[in-house]
Structure formats: C-alpha cells, structure tokens
Structure 1
Amino acid sequence: MDTLRNRLALVVWPMLLAGLMLGMWLTPWQGWVEPLERWLADHTRIGWLVYLALYVVVVALPLPAAAMSVVGGLAFGWWGIPLALLGSLLGALGPWWATRRFLRDPVMARLGGPRVRAADAMVRDDALVFVTLLRLTPILPFTVQNYLLGLTSVRLIPFAIATIAGLAPSTVALVWIGELGSLTFTGATAGQILSLVAGLGVFAAFLAWAIWRAIARLRSAGFHA
C-alpha cells in the first residue's frame, strides 16, 4: 500500500501540470487577459496586494492554491514567482502559528509520550531538511502540512526558509504555465511558445525526479504518511 501511495504521489505533479496546461488551452481567457494586464500596469501596487491577500485566504483554507500560482504567471509574468512564494508563506504562517499557540501544548500533554517527543526533537533539530522535503512532495496537502507542522517544535525561521525552498520548484512550474498562457493570448510567436513548452517539459521531468528523491529521503527517516 505504501509503495502504491508513493507512486501515486510521484505522478501527482506531472499530472497536475498537464491538466493545468490543458485547462489553459480550453479556458476562454482571451476576453480578459489584455484588460487585466492593462489594469495591473496602471495599478501595480494594488494589484500585487489584492493578489497576495487572495493567495493568503486560499492557502489558509482547503482551496486549490496551485491555481493561484498559475494566475500569478498569467497576470504578472515571471514576477508571479516571488509573489506566489510570498503569498504561500504568508498563508502558511497563520495556520502554523494558531496551531502552535493554541493546540500544541494540549496535544503534546495528551499524546506526547517518549517516542512522540523524540520524533518531535528530530524534526526540530533537522527542520530545514525535513520541512523542505515535506513541502516538495505531494504526500500531504499544503494546508494540512501547515497545521501539522504547528504541532511540532519547528521554529519560525527554519519553517519560513524551508517553506520557500520546498515550494520553489513547483511554484516555478505553475507560474511558467501562467506565463505560457499569457504569451499565447497576447500574440507570441510559435517559436516562443514551443520553446516555453519544451522548457516546461524538461523542468517537469526534473520536478518528478526531485519529488522521487524527497519521498525516498522522508521514507528513510521513518515518515510514511
């Protein structure tokens, strides 16, 4: 069962990227991509703030945050990468802090036996590696990860750094799809589009390899979720 689950986790991102690319082609974006880009050009700071606020809400709730990264590429181009990463981090901090503040102590008092505390100490001491690998893999939904990590003693700075590092590859791929859609509907040449598609294919292969390695590292550390 674990092997089947890990194989399914391994193909989640490639399947998601393929599905999002198909969705970009089938969705009638033409009517509002150019007006959106013109509005953002005239209201840059407001547009960034609105996007970040929406991203925080989507991440904090069980909503498809991946779509927000695609929208970031569609609306802001490659600037969608830092914006999406910042939105992801800000959205993750709220659930993590709330769980840490109000639930960790009661849960540890009830369930925190020697083995649980030893595992918690291991995660805390190796937080950068563990959280980065967890963020990279689709073993658990991102929103669920934030609440579960709040139950651990992972500190703020490692949590933030590892969240950015672990989300960066998938965020790049998703924003890439949005940028591809934007160019498609604003008159890019066939050569430009093909080069972006080819580059995205290579990056997707790298992402699949990175996920496979991350899953293997987590399993070797005893994490079998």
Structure 2
Amino acid sequence: MGKHRLSLFIRFTILVIFVAMAIIVAKTLNIQGLLQQSLIWIRSLGSFGVIAFIVIYNLATILFIPGSVLTLGGGAIFGVFRGSIYVLIAATIGATFAFLIGRYLSRDRIAGILEKYPKFQAVDRAVGSEGLKIVFLTRLSPLFPFNLLNYAFGITQVSIKDYILGSMGMIPGTVMYVYIGSLTSDLAMVGMESPQTNPILQWSLRIIGFAATVAVSLSVTRIARKALEDDLNS
C-alpha cells in the first residue's frame, strides 16, 4: 500500500471511528437531560447565552446529537424571532463544520473508489452540478436525517457555496420547532411536553416536507438517469 493510499485509509478510518463513537456516546448518555441542563445554564448567562447556545449547538451537530431539544430550547429562551435567527446561524455553522470534516477526511478516499466505477463517478458529478437544489430539497424534507446529511454531502461534489445556500431549506422546520419551544414554560420539560400548536401550521409543514421528499426523489432519479445516459453515449 502506497503512502497516499495509506494516508487516505487512515483518514477514512478516523472518520468512521469518530462517527461510531459519537453515536455510541449519544445513545449511552442521558443526552436529553444534559441538553436540558445546558439550556438552563444558557438562560442564566444573560446576553452571553447566545454565544454559549451557538457553541453547544455546533458541538451537538458535529457529534450526531439530535438538535430538536436545542431548537425547542432556543424558542423557549429567546422567543420565536430571535430564537429562529440564532438556531439558523448555529445549525448552519455546525452543519458546515460537519460538511468540511466529511470532505477533508474522506472525500479523497471516496473519489479514489469512484475512479474504478465511471458510472458512479458520472452520477457524483451530476449531483454536484445541481447541488443547490438537492441540498435545499433535502433540508425541507423531514425524512432525511440532518446530522447524517452534513457528512454525506461532504463526500459529494456539491460545492460549499451551494451547500450553505441550500441549507436555507431548514427555515420552515426551524421556525416551526422554535415556535413550539416558545410555548414551553419550563426548560426542564423541553422535548418532553407537547404544547398545543396551530394545526394549520403543522399541516402546512407536513405538506411542504412531503412535497420536498417527492421532489428530491424525482430529481435524484432524473440526475442519475441523465448522468448514466451521458456516460453511455460518450
């Protein structure tokens, strides 16, 4: 095994170990309890709580810790307007960090594998060319896991610009969760109680999510088909 391949193998192994450990830790520890305590601490910090909130949200995103409790907490602490802004900033920064980790620790490895399979390489290029649309639609859909997608997009040819812009698809879901969180009176109950929310708002979000799921499925299928046809005709 050459030095280059050994280096790629080591980086790929590190990424796999990192992801596996993050998932194990998240499953083993009382993550929800820890996040709730973190929210109480953040509120006690006053104006400095925004910085602490963003940092903790970033770490949770990178470590595969579900961010729903923090998103709800953002609404409970900061209200709907400021909470939505802070959550979007925190989620975008955290997602970008995870994207870069996936890209620089494993992208070369994946590219090396794709060289042996020209058809998959063509699909990878095609997805990269329409990255903005694909990222945006997957962010709108609740069926695509947020934390996993951050790393997954990192190993594709999606540009970081398209990735960041496409991540704005998080806005509807984020505002909805922040709004629900703003109805919670006790931070210790964030993520446990279910405040009554506007059913029209709930159904609107579900319809948007369903439409996005269908759209991204059709788009990826079309992109893959076109890439394969171009590959066969070349």
TM-score normalized with structure 2 length: 0.68
Partner residue, 1:179: 182
Give the aligned partner of residue 209 of structure 2.
211
1:80 counterpart letter in structure 2: G
Which of residues 44, 65, 68 is equivalent to 1:66?
Answer: 68
Residue deviations 1:149-192 (CA, integer Å, cap 9, x gap): 000111111111111x211111111100111114x89xxxxxxx
Q: How does 1:96-111 map to 2 (within 5 A)?
A: 96-111=99-114
Distance 1:105 1:211, change over 3 A: same
Structure 2 residue aligned with 1:202: 200
Give the whole-Å Cα distance in 2 for the aligned partners of 1:147 and 1:133: 17
Q: Give 1:121-132 correspondences, 5 Å limit.
A: 121-132=125-136
1:60 maps to amino acid: I
Equivalent residue for 1:136, pick from 131, 134, 140: 140
Give the alignment partner of residue 48 of structure 1, picking from 36, 47, 50.
50
Partners of 1:36 and 1:69 lie apart in 2 by: 13
Change (3 A) 1:198 1:49: closer
Identity of aligned residues (%): 26
CA–CA distance in structure 2, aligned partners of residues 36 and 51 of structure 1:
6
**For the residues of structure 2 that align with 1:101 and 1:36, how far apart are their CA atoms?**
32
Question: How many equivalent pairs are there?
Answer: 175
Match of 1:220 among 218, 221, 224: 218
Q: For the residues of structure 1 that align with 2:119 and 2:139, how far apart are their CA atoms?
A: 24
Q: CA RMSD in A?
A: 2.4
Structure 1 residue 116 displacement after superposition: 1.7
Aligned equivalents of 1:143 and 1:198: distance in 2? 26
Q: Secondary structure at the match of 2:178?
A: helix
* Uncovered stretches (5+) of structure 1, i.e. residues with no partner: 1-28, 186-195
Letter in 2 for 1:144: L
**Counterpart among 114, 117, 127 of residue 118 in structure 2:** 114
The 1:145/1:180 distance shift into structure 2, 3 A limit, reads: same
TM-score after normalising by structure 1 = 0.70
